[in-house]
Chain A
Amino acid sequence: DIVMTQSPSSLAMSVGQKVTMTCNSSQSLLNTSNQKNFLAWCQQKPGQSPKLLVYFASTRESGVPDRFIGSGSGTDFTLTISSVQAEDLADYFCQQHYSTPFTFGSGTKLEIK
């Protein structure tokens, strides 16, 4: 199985600050046939189900604010929130869909100061 490692496990930021969280995979998620990284980010707000934010490492899902920026390739990935808002309070998970079994990171909990 591909192991997904996220850091930090939690962070607390003030509104307007830039937030960066990372996700590393135990093997490359780059599909060489289409040059796409099979890495997604999802957001889970308190009491809600997860919601897809970013796929192919850097493509925002429709309707996702442009302050959410995914980057990275191979085994190292980053989710950046350029200017965090109060409504971004949530857990953030990375997920690989390169091969089954699909696996998730353990999550980063974002708290707003």
Chain B
Amino acid sequence: DVQLQESGPGLVKPSQSLSLTCSVTGYSITSGYYWNWIRQFPGNKLEWMGYISYDGTNNYNPSLKNRISITRDTSKNQFFLKLNSVTTEDTATYYCARGWLLSYWGQGTLVTVSA
């Protein structure tokens, strides 16, 4: 069965970078699909942040401008989110999910941006 699991720091200071890992089991991230990062703000609004495709290509939400980077380690079957220059408005639960249908989600990890 396909499973995704997010991990990373739960607290980040303003102006620093947020870095998260999504570990995937049950399916190789190089075999197919887009591998997405999505976040959910307090109040429940969902925002698609971007993806890395099975072939390594990226697509990012323009709203995040040049702050976002999604990379991967195929040997560990993991992909990563890095968000630079965070502010308190980046406080959210961060999810990784598979495919453009978002058919599998991780359990999410809460990241709080605070001094």
What residues of chain A have their CB less than 8 Å away from a CB belonging to chain B? 40, 42, 44, 48-52, 55, 61, 91, 93, 95, 97, 100-104, 106-107
For A106, what are the chain B residues with a Cβ–Cβ distance below 8 Å?
A: 44-45
Judged by a CB distance under 8 angstroms, whether B63 is at the interface is yes
Known: A52-B102, A101-B61, A107-B44. 17 other contacts (CB 8 A): A40-B101, A49-B95, A49-B105, A49-B107, A50-B102, A91-B44, A93-B46, A101-B48, A101-B63, A102-B48, A102-B100, A103-B48, A104-B45, A104-B46, A104-B48, A106-B44, A107-B46
For A52, what are the chain B residues with a Cβ–Cβ distance below 8 Å?
A: 101-103
Complex CA gap A93/B107 in Å reads: 17
For B63, what are the chain A residues with a Cβ–Cβ distance below 8 Å?
A: 101
Chain B nearest Cβ from A34, distance in angstroms: 14
Assess whether A51 is in contact with B105, with CB atoms less than 8 Å apart.
yes
Complex CA gap A102/B46 in Å reads: 10
Chain A nearest Cβ from B23, distance in angstroms: 15
Chain A nearest Cβ from B67, distance in angstroms: 14
Chain A nearest Cβ from B7, distance in angstroms: 15
Chain B nearest Cβ from A79, distance in angstroms: 16
Complex CA gap A40/B62 in Å reads: 22
> Could you say which of A48, A50, A91, A97 contacts B100, with CB atoms under 8 Å apart?
A97
Complex CA gap A44/B107 in Å reads: 11
Complex CA gap A55/B102 in Å reads: 10
> Could you say which of A48, A91, A95, A101 contacts B102, with CB atoms under 8 Å apart?
A95
Judged by a CB distance under 8 angstroms, whether B59 is at the interface is yes
For A42, what are the chain B residues with a Cβ–Cβ distance below 8 Å?
A: 102
For B95, what are the chain A residues with a Cβ–Cβ distance below 8 Å?
A: 49-50
Chain A nearest Cβ from B8, distance in angstroms: 16
Complex CA gap A42/B47 in Å reads: 14
